[in-house]
Structure 1
């Protein structure tokens, strides 16, 4: 360790090349940066440096650089980045000192790890442990000085490494401990205050701030810091402060003067295993239905859905507001006695628009403290935390509930090692990677059945429906789309007093222009619009753009071809984006190439389109969509009546419009049947946007289809189409 630290210091002092990740991604020679290409090339370098001397798969590089939507040439581009890096590294390092080897399934950076600033920071942190306070503070200040800005600052939109943030915080926390022992509490209060604002749920920082304030004679401020943390942890995470922080709070309340004396010993060190965590939030009220899903969870617990000896990992996935957390918490309380060693809960904030996702490192710290590990005994390295966590749970039976997870990387470090425990995850995206890697079982939640939806209204409203109100409540449930969050809000409106009757609420919700506003409460946690906003903001910009365009679509069933027309893209790209939206439960793939939107999601998309698209953009998208239906209808007409066309096909007039393959009369009939309601809706919406001449043309073709295509069955043209014709 000492030899490597000395080598790292030599690199840091400018006597050799140094690779930097703690700030912009750079290679320094004699403290001068060497150009390393554009963001793509630096992103590849960052990924290789984060795993030095290890193989980084090419596919992972592609996924990271292009956020899972790579262009066709992505692999070739990465190969070009690697070639450019090889040339640049050969110019700054001795022959063989640093090189990139091609090692299937990817690339490996062969490098002396002491040349990387991350390694130096870790070595300094490790060296500081157990040294006298003054020397410890000196080493940790040197470690902190390695940061030249936010980690991976110039590629952070492509490459993320939360472990580097965790390393920075570990260095700071260890330094603050040393400064407190040295009696330098006045000097660190300002820095601690800022850090606690940035990391409000990091208990060690909160405790250090409280102790520094108390020693500085600011007892009331120290107590206020505790109260802020306790209220926020309860409100946002459903957690109480850990035992060490609670003990420190009590000592400050009692004005324990022994705290004024700097001491190297921790304030409190709870014994491992004394605590049995019970962290589940309160049982949800107004719960109804989900019998099949509850049975599925029971079978998963008893091993009915997994191989013998395998860990039980269940995933509840579904759209915003569908009731994933309520189902998970309710079931967790019902089976709590099956987990005598406790229940752990973490809200991972994977799709929280107000906060960044919680790192697995932070959750591990909270879980370890909840399991009785002293905060000062929590390992600095994430891998060591994982090892300790799994060691503690190896012979225990614990339920771990991970709410609102974003991806497999956030979940996997939190999985217990053996089958005695169980993990239940809720998420707004399909966790295909987690299922593939761990064998997790997936249950996708849809909206409630009609009977259960009406029961939710009754439970929240507080009274059964009487007489005419029964039918009105059925209609109210339909207007809420049987979505549990919307039903709970509607029920709360009814329970709020005589100001809202069922008939009033139905009238308000029947108007699509005001429906989301009626289902919008002041609390973001109980607002349909806010829940949908969170999902929308979490989407890749290209997918969010497609959602806006879908808000302009007048029909109910959309496929890749009309989606491509709306977006002005090719059909394959539109298909991939629709499937990506289906993976985030923004749309549902009801059958092959047919996607549906929940009514409330459709209204939200229309709001986003109204607020984010210019009038020109909206007019262009509607025109492209109209041209798609004109070209499709013309082609279908020619296939059904080939003898009645002398004029050129409309496809020649609109050459950029996507065309469905249609070579036979049967395919023409299939297209008409699939697009019939959309075609009529386009005619009606086109009348309002002033596209008169082309709308008349499309309406006439629709009229002919209705008269001559008997396979459609009884076809009724809308009043608007009849008026046009």
Structure 2
């Protein structure tokens, strides 16, 4: 028998006869079985795959009928066994490389990659082309794409695209560039967002003597990516474009040569520190090795499941650290927060934007705005690498699925309290259920903490402790922490205390945890002093799992030095972990326990007061940081500083930015938490305070997220001023993403709400943003009326900073229209106002505008002096983008007077900065530099 799914689903007899498979639902059932050879499918799973969650009442019987009919159609003459087998795990279809085209394809691909690694180019090409020849169209052609067929189809298509790219590389190496041009054009038409074929097409055209066509191809791709995703081509293609511009000789030959000079590959190292108390689990570690490294050509995906506190993360971390050598391209790690509080759970898009793409070297402005494009970029970046990806604490398959890499060469470990059957069925993940450790392993954990002599001296007490903790590692660690803190205390006394406190609280929220585990947590809690116990309950109300000592103090309504003893007590009891000086982490199981306790023991008013105190803390500190980073920033109706708040004091804007880098994720969670618990004013005001901080670090995705929340809570409150401000700052994020239509939409909404609130300063700020947007779009003439209106509004209200900003905008606009003398008049007025207000950012912007105006008048020494003044200010306030823009214009001035060496050096400095933040202007400046080499 032969089974084919690389095209329409078909089955052929050994004599070469194509078999009739029956109606479409029957064919789909066969396709599902073929998609995961050897995997057992239950009736319920098959019902889901066939009817997409909307089955008829007779679905189970229909499945059995389809299986019966398929068995008859597929029975081999003389074979006593049916093709579709039934077993304890369900129906399955056992296939191999001789009977299934998909398995033959995988096998040939592995052989090709093996030959490629050994430098056997002809053998590799032969294997790859044989694998590609098995394809007869789209896999599962004609069948609707959902469930397992959708994911398997995507995986196979990804593999096919990778092989096509490998074959193209081998043909380019062999000098077959002429015959590659048309097939590559077809590939980029079929899959236009995959960058590798575009680069190969550019090389083929350049080697064929069609350099202009190669450059035009790059421009076509660049426009496509800008329209579809709002990003520039990747660094490899930018580098290739530069080489074609230079007509580098080694690019135009197919002779074997040294590898191209490329930007260094970012190798992420995100794994946390390995667990120090890890013991045992030898069988599970060996199983992970088999599942993840058993196939030399690819790695697997493993889902480690088990109850909270059983050691899933410890096991994953231990294996990962022991096998780093197998993943030379790096390791990625994300805590998905699936079983913490609702606001802590991480969305796949947020994970990709905040953690995975930056770790792979993607600059903030290179990250697409749309989640679909973000995931596509992530898969592309991982498709060529051998990475280990550890996705910890997942809630469900949907949280994990978009984060799976784009290559089977990557290993993936997922930990979850749920079994994630969808991931196992659809993505072929291997489940690894982690049970409680054995008695010997539990005893070894105590030995590691307490010493072999103490454990051996009291065997009965040790056995009782192990039994009463149900061998749960988290509970054992808590018991060991107390015993270690009291080295002369008999272990039997600790076991007696544990026995006496049984049954004091309700069962754990996790449905499979033993009662004695709950007893351990309650026992540990009951041993706390009253102050430490209250603090533990309050910490569970914090928006995120990590918290600073200052934030703890605000939660408690006390000064930091007064809560330090309670923090130390919680740390000694293993209820908190001090990850770094004055920064703590609370395990999500313990947080859930604390939430239960505070719900039972503390009144609603007390809980709300604690939440308000910590939100006040973050709002006050974020407001202070924002004022230091941007002297012109003004808060929207800030609340007074609470008497019991303990915010950290900043020395300058540098320390403010350093604080924000540490607290960024907590602050974003605080915005969501405030909105979720009806602290709408806090949510909106905190989002506003984050705007200058996120902007200075070019975190535009996070800015868009918090401002979307701010818009929602302002609408809920019916606060037009707050809504206007949120729309304005949301427009700022869209401008940076070059989503100009969306920016115009939000600025129109902002203007309407400012008009409704009769807020003249707000109207002026919206006009200034519109002026900036028009200028970026290339229409300086349209920008000037907005700047004039902003000036009139600011002057009428006595807003000196607003007046200065409007005057500078007018000066810049007139300079862009070659009205330089008029521009200087406006800018000098702006400069006086900014210096009077001691606003270094506004002053820097205005010196830059003056430089442009004097350059236009031909007064180049004066222009250079203005630019130098701006550069000093930008450096002092740590504004890299402002500094880069001014360096470019200073380079232009030196170029105009014939000082080419200095101009090129200045442009290179600017390019380094723009490249660091992934600014779209980097590619434009790169092309300019290429022309002067």
TM-score (norm. length: structure 1):
0.45
Structure whose CA Rg is larger: 2
Say which structure is richer in helix.
Answer: 2
TM-score (norm. length: structure 2):
0.36
Higher relative contact order (CA 8 A, sep 6+): 1
